[in-house]
Amino acid sequence: MLEIVEKTLLTGIGALALTQKKAEELIDDLKKRMNLTEEEGKKLLEKLQDAAKDNQQKLEELARDEVKKACERIGVVTVKEFEKLQHKVEHLEKQLKAREK
């Protein structure tokens, strides 16, 4: 029974990140309705929090990937690429100054 409730909740949450307070309220409500023990409620809360963290990390990773793709499409260079070009320009400027002397 607990496993069915757990799977239903985890599926229903999806990408939604629960705040600590809302998760605790949800668990308190479920404990009353489903006659869950304190320990079962704590375990369920931990699983919900872990699922929320995982979903948040996945969303952040997807967002980073999309931003990176958008930057590539419009031609924005990365800091690393900029620094490489800056170093190259400095090197070429030194070469030019040496030839002028």
Residue given tokens 């931003």 in the structure block: 67
Q: What is the pLDDT of residue 82?
A: 94
For residue 78 the two structure tokens come to 């990365």
Residue corresponding to tokens 């170093």: 87
- Which pTM was predicted? 0.48
In angstroms, the CA 39 to CA 17 distance is: 22
Number of domains in the chain: 1
Q: How confident is residue 35, by pLDDT bands cut at 50, 70 and 90?
A: confident
pLDDT in tens, 54-63: 877 887 788 8
What domain range is 15 assigned to? 2-100
